[in-house]
Amino acid sequence: MIGVVNISTFYIVLTVIIAVILFAMIIGIHEFGHFITAKKFGVKVNEFALGMGPKLISKQGKETLYSLRLIPIGGYCAMEGEDEDSDDERALNNKKWWQRGIILAAGAFMNIILGIVFMFVIQVQQPYYASTQIAYLVSDSTSMNAGIQLGDDIYSINGYRTHCATDISFALSTAKDGKIDIAVRRDGKKLEFNDLHMAVEDFNGTKVTTIDFKVKRVDKNVWTVISNTFTETYAYVRMIYSSIIMMITGRVGFNEVSGPVGMASAIGQVAEAGFKYSFMDGLNNIINFMALITVNLGIFNLLPLPALDGGRLLFVIIEGIRRKPIDPEKEGIVHFVGFALLILLMIIITIKDVWSLF
């Protein structure tokens, strides 16, 4: 019993360490995107920080202060003229609108690049890949009786276009009571099979729709590794956008939204599930989850919401169209209100996540 407790404690500590390192990487690469493009366009960067709150260590560069701060959530690249006008010719506010747009978008772009790297690490380890082509049907099953055949390529499930196994899993996760519509490609034609009733299983307290067929295996080679890396990353992007739309339309409830505490709990769960088999399984589960998080961060930051990079980018694009800047004071008020609402939302989500833990 003592040995079991020690191993369990070891994996918990290890998970926390790995998660903090990967979170720092996600935040660092985002801010580095802003930093490197700012330097490229000659913008003065006053501070590059990882973490928030009080400084732990810092080093003054030629013009930039590099610092590591106490709270390992967040970070920033403080540029001259970012939040207020500056007369410095190297200030952000004095650069061309398209240059500012590139600097603002670079953080999210780097997050998506990191997501691709994480996904490559996962895909390169796989012995083979799953396609969307049906290779096996359960005898006398719902799909077989509906007319679905071997060799059919799954085109969509419940209207959600399926390019890979992740798309299929996501589409099934949104199915209600096991009722699905499947469209397939057969001999160049699209065929639809509607109102198919699949089995529903309980998975850790969550109702999951299952399927009565298996898909064809794709052999591993250089091309399929690269292809699956980009296809699966694209699937994550589509999944995030679809989830946002479902939240806006009310298909996904507030209880299914998570903040840092909820993500930390989820990381622990996926790590624990993997560590039951081996260290590498646990590590790969964390990396796969981090791929989703970093792509999520990149996409979310590009949304045209006040205080986010996407909101600032929207103002820059409007300026480029109007050929004159928007009143900085009015823009500042919009971003301030947006930031306050964002912080309030994060506090509410964090309280909800902590409550859920208990």
Phi, then psi, of 179 in degrees rounded to 5: -90, 120
Looking at the DSSP bridge assignments, the partners of residue 179 are: 176, 197
109-129 as b/e: b if 16+ CB within 10 A:
bbbbbbbbebbbbbbeeeeeb
Q: Distance between CA atoms of 306 and 256, rounded to whole angstroms?
A: 23
Residue 319 among the catalytic residues: no
Point out the catalytic residue in the list 31, 80, 82, 232.
31
Half-sphere exposure at residue 34, Cβ-oriented, CA atoms within 13 angstroms = 25
Q: Are 195 and 181 in contact (CB under 8 A)?
A: yes
CA dist., res. 345 & res. 305, Å (int): 13
In 71-91, which positions are buried (b, 16+ CB within 10 angstroms) versus exposed (e)? Answer: ebbbbbbbbbbbeeebeeebb
- Bridge partners of 184, per DSSP, are 154, 191
Report, as residue numbers or ranges, the catalytic residues: 31
